[in-house]
Amino acid sequence: MREGMDNFEVLRHIPLFGGLPEDQLRVLAQCASQKSVRPGRQVFEDMAHSPGFYLVVWGRVKIFKSSPEGREQTIFVFGPGELFCLTAFADEYSPASATALEDTRILFFPAEVMEGVARREPALLFGIMLALSRRLKEALAVIEALSLQEIPQRLAIFLTHSLAKEGQGDSFELPFSQRELAKIIGATPETLSRVFRKLSDEGVLSMDGRTIRILERSALGALAQGDQAAD
Amino acid sequence: MREGMDNFEVLRHIPLFGGLPEDQLRVLAQCASQKSVRPGRQVFEDMAHSPGFYLVVWGRVKIFKSSPEGREQTIFVFGPGELFCLTAFADEYSPASATALEDTRILFFPAEVMEGVARREPALLFGIMLALSRRLKEALAVIEALSLQEIPQRLAIFLTHSLAKEGQGDSFELPFSQRELAKIIGATPETLSRVFRKLSDEGVLSMDGRTIRILERSALGALAQGDQAAD
């Protein structure tokens, strides 16, 4: 999606709204508001009243939990076109915090307008339900990683997914710092950096700034499957 | 819910179905099938094709992830009247495994019948969406526990919730073994038993078989809030 698009143009590019008739899309577009968020600035806070739905127009937002001492665990990272979908309409608070990872443009829909359109258009309701169910699956994968997988396996899974999703040939650009990546896979920055070094020494990958090149896909695949080689 | 209830009687006791007209409730009751599951037996498997929705009539079912080496992390425990709601209709596989913790009676609804009724009755669709959203919140709380809380805090939160939900006065009955509890809070049985002993030595609680009596609510509350005293 391009800079300067109006709400209606943005909505027409989102698959979730694809089944909506134009008049309902206009209802949503009219009530939605766009907002720019600078890197590191908060979109909303954990346990805050959740007034509606958020969509990333461009940029990237992380959803995370934090401890009183300031430690963080990132749960999701949302990019362009993604609806957050962390709550149903009737929910009274957001179950985590959201902060922009880079210059980000957000589209916000008040819950009652979205609910009104969803009641008239069950396709939208089904779409939101499907998105919620996808979030739940992703959350269950995070639980599996934190409780049952070692750091090298978690990193290998992240790299495998990133390569499949954003890779060009054998390499892809890490869309955020290693520090942010550590919060996603639940490692300290030191441990993450040690595992990266080990994989690099073993010839599995090479790094140049944020560009990661996978040299041995089969070794990475084995590690992602739980092979303990790089541990 | 009592033994020997027919499907229609069971459904009339479930809040999720409360808003449904009787004819739609009968459609669901006619397509649903009841099944008994012995303790330790599987209800469904992780990544298996998910043919529909499950409801606990009586007994208890745990939803969990397991590692190839057989380690387990329990994510939810469902009791009487709870609809599992781990997937939307269109989802093709279940994101975790389910096993009975005790003698359990399950009610199963084929996805296409449930979807048909939900398309006619948006109240049911909203109810399922709300249940999915509640599961997502619970999953996010598990992520917070595993990544940001120490074992004593996790145990204190579990005990506080259990007392509020199932307690009579200052005590409640643990509905499963300590071994199962360890899988819920993400501890080894040895660590859990050590933390229980410490809390008992400090006079915070006492245990008699599966009966747990909370002697110092304020100390337990402080620990649940992240006070490191019992660590």
B112: domain CATH number? 2.60.120.10
Tokens of A50: 């959740």
Assess whether A103 and A23 both reside in one domain. yes
* Average pLDDT of the residues in B111-117: 91
- Does the pLDDT value for residue B187 go beyond 60? yes
What SS3 class is residue B146? helix
Nearest to B133 among A66, A87, A147 (CB): A87
Beta strands in A152-227 (DSSP E): 171-173, 205-208, 211-214
Contacts of B119 in chain A (CB under 8 A): 122
> Best mutation site among B69, B75, B93, B133 for testing chain A: the one with the most A CBs within 10 Å?
B133
Instruction: Give a yes or no: residue A230 inside a domain.
Output: no
Query: Looking at residue A228, what is its pLDDT?
Result: 63
Assess whether A37 and A138 both reside in one domain. yes
pLDDT, tens only, B154-171: 999 999 999 999 888 999
- Among the candidates A121, A145, A169, a domain finishes at A145
Q: Tell me whether A20 touches chain B (CB under 8 Å).
A: no
Chain A nearest CA to B87, separation (Å): 5
Instruction: Give a yes or no: residue A155 inside a domain.
Output: yes
Assess whether B139 and B165 both reside in one domain. no
Q: In chain B, positions 139-178, which contact chain A (CB-CB < 8 Å)?
A: 139-144, 146-149
**Mean of the per-residue pLDDT values of chain A:** 92
Query: Looking at residue A123, what is its pLDDT?
Result: 85
Buried residues in B87-111 as b, exposed as e (16+ CB within 10 A): bbbebeebbbbbbbbeebbbbbbeb
Instruction: Give a yes or no: residue B2 inside a domain.
Output: no
- Among the candidates B126, B147, B168, a domain finishes at B147
Contacts of B73 in chain A (CB under 8 A): 143-144, 147-148
Assess whether B138 and B125 both reside in one domain. yes
Query: Looking at residue A230, what is its pLDDT?
Result: 43
**Mean of the per-residue pLDDT values of chain B:** 92
Phi, psi of B14 (to 5 degrees): -100, 120
Assess whether A138 and A172 both reside in one domain. no
Tokens of A12: 């027409």
Q: How far apart are CA B14 and CA B33, in angstroms?
A: 16
pTM of the model: 0.93
Per-residue pLDDT band for A5 (boundaries 50, 70, 90) equals: confident
CATH for B218: 1.10.10.10
- Closest-CA residue in chain A for B115? A126
Least confidently predicted of A23-27, A89-93, A114-118, B11-15: A89-93
Tokens of B194: 């050590």
Query: Looking at residue B47, what is its pLDDT?
Result: 86
- Does the pLDDT value for residue B231 go beyond 60? no
DSSP A83: B
Instruction: Give a yes or no: residue B84 inside a domain.
Output: yes
Nearest to A122 among B95, B119, B140 (CB): B119
Per-residue pLDDT band for A153 (boundaries 50, 70, 90) equals: very high
Closest listed residue to residue A211, CA positions, set A170, A182, A158, A180: A170
C-alpha separations of B26 from A154, B20, B54, B56, B111 in Å: 47, 10, 17, 19, 16
Sheet with B33-37, edge to edge strand ranges: B33-37, B104-110, B52-58
- Does the pLDDT value for residue B151 go beyond 60? yes
Nearest to B65 among A67, A71, A148 (CB): A148
Assess whether B158 and B198 both reside in one domain. yes
- Does the pLDDT value for residue A179 go beyond 50? yes
pLDDT, tens only, B43-92: 999 988 888 899 999 999 999 999 988 999 999 999 999 998 888 887 77
Cα Rg of chain A (Å, integer): 19
C-alpha separations of B137 from A94, A125, A133 in Å: 9, 19, 12
Assess whether B160 and B113 both reside in one domain. no
- Does the pLDDT value for residue A160 go beyond 80? yes
Instruction: Give a yes or no: residue B188 inside a domain.
Output: yes
* Average pLDDT of the residues in A198-225: 96
- With helix as H, strand as E and coil as C, how does A53-103 read? EEEEEECCEEEEEECCCCCEEEEEEECCCCECCCCCCCCCECCCEEEECCC
Per-residue pLDDT band for B228 (boundaries 50, 70, 90) equals: low
Domain residues for the domain of A178 are 149-224
Chain B nearest CA to A5, separation (Å): 31
Tokens of A201: 């020494």
| Structural domains counted in chain B | 2
Query: B122–A126: do the CB atoms touch at under 8 Å?
Result: no
Instruction: Give a yes or no: residue A97 inside a domain.
Output: yes
Query: B126–A89: do the CB atoms touch at under 8 Å?
Result: yes
Instruction: Give a yes or no: residue B48 inside a domain.
Output: yes
Q: Tell me whether A218 touches chain B (CB under 8 Å).
A: no
CB A114, CB A121: distance < 8 Å = no
Query: Looking at residue A231, what is its pLDDT?
Result: 44
Assess whether B35 and B142 both reside in one domain. yes
* Average pLDDT of the residues in A97-121: 93
- The DSSP bridge partners found for residue B66 are B72
CB A161, CB A214: distance < 8 Å = no
Query: A144–B73: do the CB atoms touch at under 8 Å?
Result: yes
* Average pLDDT of the residues in A148-154: 96
CA dihedral B140, B142, B144, B145 (to 10 degrees): 170
Q: Tell me whether B48 touches chain A (CB under 8 Å).
A: no
Assess whether A115 and A34 both reside in one domain. yes
Instruction: Give a yes or no: residue A85 inside a domain.
Output: yes
Q: Is the ipTM of this complex over 0.95?
A: no
Chain A nearest CA to B4, separation (Å): 33
Assess whether B172 and B123 both reside in one domain. no
Q: How far apart are CA A61 and CA A78, in angstroms?
A: 5
Assess whether A40 and A126 both reside in one domain. yes
- Does the pLDDT value for residue B230 go beyond 50? no
Assess whether B217 and B121 both reside in one domain. no
Size of chain A in residues: 231
What SS3 class is residue B167? coil
Nearest to A146 among B96, B125, B146 (CB): B146
- Among the candidates A145, A171, A196, a domain finishes at A145
Tokens of A1: 């999606």
Closest listed residue to residue A155, CA positions, set A201, A117, A106, A191: A191
CB B123, CB B20: distance < 8 Å = yes
* Average pLDDT of the residues in B185-203: 97
Least confidently predicted of A63-77, A124-138, A210-224: A124-138
Q: How far apart are CA A16 and CA A27, in angstroms?
A: 15
